[in-house]
Amino acid sequence: MLIGEYDGIEIHRKEKIIYVNFLVQHRVISTCGVNGGLRDDLEGIANHQLCEPSGHDRKVLTSIAESPVDYLKSVFEKYELSPEKRALLGTAANMNYAAVESQEYRGLKVVAISTGGVETNAGRAGDPANIYEKDGKFISAKGEVDEPHGTINTIIIINKELTNGAMVRSLVTAAEAKAAALQELAVNSRYSCGLATGTGTDQVGIASRLTGEIPLTSAGKHTKLGELIGLTVKKSVKKTLALQDSLTPQSQRSAKIHLERFGIDKKSMMEKICRFLNEEQSKLLKKNFVNINRDSVTVAATSALVHLRDKIEWGILPENCLPEIFSSYGAQLSASISGKFERIGYYRECLSREQMGICNHTFTNFICKSFALGFNEKWE
């Protein structure tokens, strides 16, 4: 099925694949294991769903990793496409959830096609890793290489010619745009207590049309090309995550979600809060946790504490000011739950006597104490 037609390209979707056919010659840069790198001789780029997002037989993934050339050939031959002159991105994301976005400025057009999922594989650049590559094989310190699920794949088409340097710079701009999309969605890393900047298996392919005109030399943020790449990638990544993972700004309006990267989930969060409540109040909180957790003012106060905790860890705020900062903003959280903002001074005094710190256990305990302090007074 033809799902898009732009200057010099066609975008098709069939079963588990989306492929871009070049109607004229393009320069391509991609992260693909086969036919990747910088090329001027390709006929197109494709994105293929190679397995289910979870629970799929690991043998499928192992065989692909061991024989990527055979995998590429089998996919393209199935869809009657030339395997020698195409780059292939692989993912577990549904091709029906692909998002296509385009932007244009004075004849310069950029099209981005993204698929993605981040539920289990989102990570932050610099997170701890346990896999290294040696002699063509990936080795894990744990004995086996886990197959992480969750990948953001993006194909970007530019209707103007770029220099080789500008092609490389476009990769940087696209990566920054993807990270910005995840930042605006407050996506947590699954491997650290930081916010995610991508997944561990993200791939990208960028094609620029060889027009014979003077090529564009920059794709940085100060250029219109960089702006268009940033806008299309950010919009397409957000849209595909909404379709694949139901991940939207509204779905992220949750105190629990903002705290998950510190090792807490719904069950443990309720248990921690209930330690500071009597039996009757505990039952009431558990029955109404969903509404309390998603209350806008409560989410605002929780996310403020989370952000301040990050600022202390990053060294922007001095740790010796932590007691004043946490007791003040913890009191704001208590008041958001009780509704009694005139009691902020009292809450601040109570919380100033609590243990405070930025380590996960101490920080989440303090948050839960702030919740309980407000809930204790909510119906008085």
Tell me the per-residue pLDDT of 293-330, one tens digit each, with 9 for 90 and over. Answer: 999 999 999 999 999 999 999 999 999 999 999 999 99
- The stretch 68-74 carries a mean pLDDT of 88
- Among 201, 227, 245, give the residue marking a domain's end: 245
Torsional class of 10: left (φ above 0), alpha (ψ -120 to 50), beta (otherwise): beta
Give pLDDT, residue 57: 61
The residues near 370 (Cβ < 8 Å, ≥ 6 apart) are: 305, 330, 331, 333, 334, 347, 351
Are the beta carbons of 20 and 9 closer than 8 angstroms?
yes
Token output for 122: 């989102």
Whether residues 172 and 229 share a domain: the answer is yes
Q: CATH no. for residue 228? A: 3.60.70
Does some domain include residue 31? yes
Are the beta carbons of 4 and 21 closer than 8 angstroms?
no
Please determine, for residue 42, whether its predicted confidence score (pLDDT) is greater than 90. yes
- Say what the pTM is: 0.94
Token output for 336: 């958001």
- Among 201, 221, 245, give the residue marking a domain's end: 245
Token output for 216: 């564009």
What is the tens place of the pLDDT at every residue in 119-177? 989 999 999 998 888 887 778 766 555 555 689 999 999 999 999 999 999 999 999 99
- The stretch 276-299 carries a mean pLDDT of 97
- Among 245, 263, 282, give the residue marking a domain's end: 245
Q: For residue 376, which of 296, 273, 295, 232 has the smallest C-alpha distance?
A: 273
Whether residues 286 and 218 share a domain: the answer is no
Domain that holds residue 51: 2-245
